Amino acid sequence: MAKVKQKTAWFCTSCGAESPKWTGRCPSCGDWNTMVEEKISAPAAVAMPAGRHKAVPRTVNDIVAVDEPRIHMPSEELNRVLGGGLVKGSIVLLGGEPGIGKSTLVLQNLLAIRNRRILYVSGEESASQLKLRADRIGRGSDNLFIVCETSLENIFSHIEATEPEIVVVDSIQTIATDTLDSSAGSVSQVRECAAALLKFAKESSVPVLLIGHINKEGSIAGPKVLEHIVDAVLQFEGDRQYMYRLLRAIKNRFGSTSELGIYEMCRRGLREVSNPSEMLMTHRTEDLSGVATGVTLEGIRPFLIEAQALVSTAAYGTPQRSVTGFDAKRMNMLLAVLEKRVGFKLGAKDVFLNIAGGLKVSDPALDLAVIAAILSSNVDMAIPSGWCMAGEVGLSGEIRPVVRIEQRISEAEKLGMTDIIIPQGNLKGFDTSRLSIRIHEVAKVADAFRELFG
Ligand code: TYD
Ligand code: MG
């Protein structure tokens, strides 16, 4: 028998690029030391039900737009991040670090769905482990089928047998197809399996939810490839010290990517946090210096968040700058603005900044609260607890307008704030007469300082 030469190729574990030979640096994404050798077989595609039809080009006017039919998920936070429910025939990747709660989130939602057959393929946990988790969440189900399987071909036969309306694969890195020799979790396997499941989703209109692990660098393990195969990429993240978990869409063909879902991991599963401000505010009874409340926006939802700063004389020669939850470069820029435009000498001081709740905020409107927290700590004067603020800070110390100021003001008022500092000219005709919150418009950082500390 003639021995078939085993073919191999080199794959980049970071972006999935393929190369016939080893290179120290990935020719595609430029990362170093990411190429791994994997066995490949002749490009025998995964066997899929036949039925290839040819598409006919049509003019835009001839195409009738239909709203994507969606399956409503029990968790409203999940629905919102998905863009209004799970679109039929779509393939969604839920990524996150191991142990963050991906399986819990999915299982909890599936258990609450009634009257739909669902297939949950687990390649990671045994059926009894899943049962224990379901018990912990406190729910049972007659329509959720669980199978522990790692072969793609077998998964398709399970699908044929159960005829589910939703398919979940936990996790994509544990399944493998027989058509490839490489092991589960390798770039080629993940790519091939995801492509086959995508084809299944498109042809059957059954939505497929893939769970995927993220590696240290924060990309979905190896397979960044997956990100462009799937319709939506949701990321589940959180800080291990905090029980809060954030769900955000990194990509979504059927909705916005600016939505944020917030959960809290409790003893009996995940709890939705529908009022995020509750988690982002410390419930302080005394006024502390170095704490300022900003009104920020994630997606379309405004919420209040606390910036905490500590400014102290540097103990060592080089002052320390330490930031969590905020861009370090941006904080350095704000410190430079304070130094140059407001005349605070912070060059020889240690500055520590922390955004409460373990949330990473990218909204520039938080600048003003960050500056206020730093100033407050520096002069050791507390900002009254009913005060909050929103505004972007420019290089010349000017406070620049922010988007959706009306919603921010309404949210602040709803949460019982008495005063809000906003950029001058930002209101533009917004009727504030029915609001009881006092609005302070400022044009420069120095004005804000005067409003806050007299
Ligand atoms: P899990 O969903 O297994 O994470 P992933 O699938 O992302 O790897 O969640 C694991 C963690 O969640 C585990 O440390 C225990 C915790 N947990 C709770 O705190 N409460 C619960 O009700 C459940 C089911 C899990
Ligand atoms: Mg899991």
Distance from the CA of 181 to the center of ligand 2, in angstroms? 25
In this prediction, residues 216-241 reach a mean pLDDT of 74
The two structure tokens encoding residue 391: 């505004």
> Residues lining ligand 1, CB < 6 A?
96, 98-104, 133, 136-137, 265, 267-269
State how far the Cα of 326 lies from the Cα of 146, in Å rounded to an integer.
41
For the stretch 408-435, pLDDT in tens is 998 888 888 899 999 998 888 777 788 8
For the stretch 386-411, pLDDT in tens is 899 999 999 999 999 999 898 899 88
Atom of ligand 1 nearest to the CA of 108: 24
Q: What are phi and psi of 16, to 5 degrees?
A: 85, 0
Q: What is the pTM of this model?
A: 0.75
* CB crowding 164-197: b at 16 or more within 10 Å, else e: bbbbbbbbbbbbbbebbbbebbbbbbbbbbbbbb
The pLDDT of residue 33 is 84
The pLDDT of residue 42 is 54
pLDDT band for position 240 (cuts 50, 70, 90): low
CB 162 within 8 A of CB 118: no
CB 34 within 8 A of CB 14: yes
- Give Cα separations from 386 to 43, 280, 411, 421 (angstroms): 65, 15, 13, 11
The pLDDT of residue 53 is 65
Mutate to test the pocket of ligand 1, among 97, 100, 104 (most ligand atoms within 8 A of CB): 104
For the stretch 370-382, pLDDT in tens is 999 999 999 999 9
pLDDT band for position 184 (cuts 50, 70, 90): confident
Write the Ramachandran bin of 351: left for phi over 0, alpha for psi from -120 to 50, otherwise beta.
beta
Q: Which residues pair with 301 in a beta bridge?
A: 298
State how far the Cα of 367 lies from the Cα of 326, in Å rounded to an integer.
10
The pLDDT of residue 21 is 86
Ligand nearest to the CA of 169: 2
Tokens 């729910």 sit on residue: 139
pLDDT band for position 288 (cuts 50, 70, 90): confident
Atom of ligand 1 nearest to the CA of 105: 2
Atom of ligand 1 nearest to the CA of 170: 6
Atom of ligand 1 nearest to the CA of 211: 6
Distance from the CA of 98 to the center of ligand 1, in angstroms? 9
How do strand 18-19 and strand 7-12 relate by DSSP bridges? antiparallel
For residue 214, the 8-state DSSP code is B
Distance from the CA of 255 to the center of ligand 1, in angstroms? 27
Window from 87-96, 264-273, 296-305, 417-426 with minimum mean pLDDT: 296-305
Tokens 């398919």 sit on residue: 167
The pLDDT of residue 435 is 85
The pLDDT of residue 41 is 62
The alpha-helical segments, DSSP class H, found in 75-115 are 76-82, 102-111
Helix (H) or strand (E) holding 73: none
In the chain, % of residues over pLDDT 90? 47
The residue whose CA has the least distance to atom 8 of ligand 1 is 99
State how far the Cα of 84 lies from the Cα of 309, in Å rounded to an integer.
38
Tokens 């020719």 sit on residue: 27
Q: Which residues pair with 8 in a beta bridge?
A: 39
Is residue 57 predicted with pLDDT exceeding 70?
yes
The residue whose CA has the least distance to atom 14 of ligand 1 is 99
The chain-wide mean pLDDT, for the chain, equals 86
The pLDDT of residue 241 is 66
Window from 111-120, 332-341, 353-362 with minimum mean pLDDT: 353-362
Is residue 287 predicted with pLDDT exceeding 60?
yes
Mutate to test the pocket of ligand 1, among 265, 266, 267, 271 (most ligand atoms within 8 A of CB): 265
The residue whose CA has the least distance to atom 13 of ligand 1 is 99
State how far the Cα of 183 lies from the Cα of 189, in Å rounded to an integer.
7
State how far the Cα of 399 lies from the Cα of 135, in Å rounded to an integer.
53
Distance from the CA of 212 to the center of ligand 2, in angstroms? 9
Write the Ramachandran bin of 73: left for phi over 0, alpha for psi from -120 to 50, otherwise beta.
beta
For the stretch 125-141, pLDDT in tens is 999 999 999 999 888 88
Window from 167-176, 238-247, 263-272, 326-335 with minimum mean pLDDT: 238-247
In this prediction, residues 99-103 reach a mean pLDDT of 91
For the stretch 143-177, pLDDT in tens is 999 999 999 999 999 999 999 999 999 989 999 99
Atom of ligand 1 nearest to the CA of 104: 2
Distance from the CA of 145 to the center of ligand 2, in angstroms? 17
